[in-house]
Amino acid sequence: MSAGEWEVVVGLEVHAHLKTRTKMFCRCELSYGAPENTHTCPVCLAHPGALPVPNARAIEMTILLGLALDCEIAGRAVFARKNYFYPDLPKGYQISQYEAPLCGPGRFELPDGHEIGIVRAHLEEDAAKTVHAGGATGRSVGAEYSLVDFNRGGTPLLEIVSAPDLRSAEEAMSYLRLLRQTIRELGISDADMEKGTLRADVNVSVRQAGEEGFRPRWEIKNMNSFRFIGRAIEAAFRQQVTAHEAGEDLVQSTYDYDPDTDRLTVHRSKEEADDYRYFPEPDLVPVEPPAELVDRLRGQVPELPVVRIEQLAGELGLASAVELVATGNEWKAQALAAEGVELKAAAAIAMNRDDFLPENAGALAQIVHANVTREALDEAFAAAAEGPIDAEDYLGRTALGDEDALAPVIDAVIAAHPDQVETYRGGKEGVLGFLVGQVMRVSQGKADPKVVTQLLREKLRS
């Protein structure tokens, strides 16, 4: 980057719903897709006098994540009340962690070696869900009325705050994808943006090459699409650079990204921490994780995706290794490789196919080795997701696309029908259909007619 050139500065606050059985401070079961307001109780509906009891499993999951991100684990974490009013927050405050989070500073390594600082990871409860109805967009503006579903209220929410260390939309996405994969592999959350179990607040500012410190940032809240996060960062970059170059003073604010216009518009001026009047939650004692618990959890941290990417990069190349691991397709490639399929081929095959039952890996490897057509392979993988498959049986029924296997059959058919061959070579191409039919008959219908036609043409030309 040369002097005067602008760079984007991005920090992400990632929220993941923890996969506990029950809510953060009560015994209501977590429920996705259950009828509205059927998983509630006096605690999560904020009835006066109802007292919260923290979910031990959620605390363990947060510590596990903190250990995976190399965070300091607090000896004493304190739940705090974050006060604000919203219809989906019946208590008038959210129980979160403020001055003393469970996980302190840590770091997250990207495959290119760039290290992203983790400021903190803390545990809080999610708000309920407001549904805006009667309008065209499903947003509050233009809606006739709004309804609140309290099933989500009180869901344990893990918040992971990165330092402003990300330097491009691409890098932000890379961080987000690998963090999602890490969270999934820890088994603490489905981390699925489409289902709402993963969301991100994106903080964007710009500065010029060589500039120290940071300019005011724009915060884009509750993003739930990877694609839009990337586009929002790029749009914010363009708009901020234009504003700075025009000499405008930018202020720290919350912005909304509109994918239709590809622009950000100001949502409200950013509230400061003071506005929330944080104070320690008087209904909960501080969390003091015993050293034995932390040690036990440390033993449960699996090998991180970035480490495996490094191992795979030699054979697959860095980009393919990242793609394979970050998309969660790696286990399929490894399962096929363990059955003798070359890793590179296994990776290419695994990337484009849905999950299969692990016990089918051996049969799938056999089918891969048989060089069946792409369609036949797709079919085999689809079947392998449903129940146990038998390779012999499958190959017996499926089209034979392997040229080496077909060549002798085709040679035999050509040798057996010299008249038809001569007619074809004389210019009557219609005879080809007859010869294809003969090959199909001899192969008992297993040959792939497309491959047979092509092979016959080649052989008859020579």
Residues that bind Zn ion (CB under 5 A): 26, 28, 41, 43-44
Please report where in the chains the tokens 């739930």 appear, as a residue.
224
Q: Retrieve residue 143's tokens.
A: 């809606």
**Considering beta carbons, is residue 44 or 68 the nearer one to Zn ion?**
44
**Pick from 179, 172, 180, 175: which is nearest to 230 by CA?**
172
Amino acid letter at 43? Answer: V
Contact criterion met (CB below 8 Å) for 236 and 218: yes
**Considering beta carbons, is residue 55 or 62 the nearer one to Zn ion?**
55
CB of 272 to Zn ion, least distance (A): 31
Sheet holding 79-83, edge to edge: 93-97, 79-83, 279-280
**Considering beta carbons, is residue 50 or 343 the nearer one to Zn ion?**
50
**Considering beta carbons, is residue 53 or 407 the nearer one to Zn ion?**
53
CB of 150 to Zn ion, least distance (A): 8
**Considering beta carbons, is residue 43 or 452 the nearer one to Zn ion?**
43
Strand-pair partners of 17: 157
CB of 78 to Zn ion, least distance (A): 22
CB of 43 to Zn ion, least distance (A): 5
For the four alpha carbons of 291, 292, 295 and 296, in that order, the dihedral sign comes to negative
CB of 36 to Zn ion, least distance (A): 14
**Considering beta carbons, is residue 37 or 453 the nearer one to Zn ion?**
37
CB of 289 to Zn ion, least distance (A): 24
Sheet holding 263-269, edge to edge: 106-109, 115-125, 156-162, 6-17, 198-208, 218-223, 253-258, 263-269
Q: Retrieve residue 85's tokens.
A: 């009013």
Q: Retrieve residue 187's tokens.
A: 């088994």
**Considering beta carbons, is residue 26 or 61 the nearer one to Zn ion?**
26
CB of 79 to Zn ion, least distance (A): 17
Is residue 113 classed as helix, strand or coil in its secondary structure?
Answer: coil
CB of 191 to Zn ion, least distance (A): 23
CA dist., res. 203 & res. 205, Å (int): 7
Helices (H), 7-138: 56-68
CB of 157 to Zn ion, least distance (A): 15
**Considering beta carbons, is residue 43 or 264 the nearer one to Zn ion?**
43
CB of 133 to Zn ion, least distance (A): 24
Contact criterion met (CB below 8 Å) for 308 and 325: yes
CA dist., res. 24 & res. 59, Å (int): 9
In this structure, the chain runs to a length of 462
Is residue 125 classed as helix, strand or coil in its secondary structure?
Answer: strand
**Considering beta carbons, is residue 42 or 358 the nearer one to Zn ion?**
42
- Report how far apart, in Å, the C-alpha atoms of 189 and of each of 20, 38, 68, 306 are: 8, 22, 14, 19
**Considering beta carbons, is residue 41 or 440 the nearer one to Zn ion?**
41
Contact criterion met (CB below 8 Å) for 144 and 133: yes
Amino acid letter at 86? Answer: Y
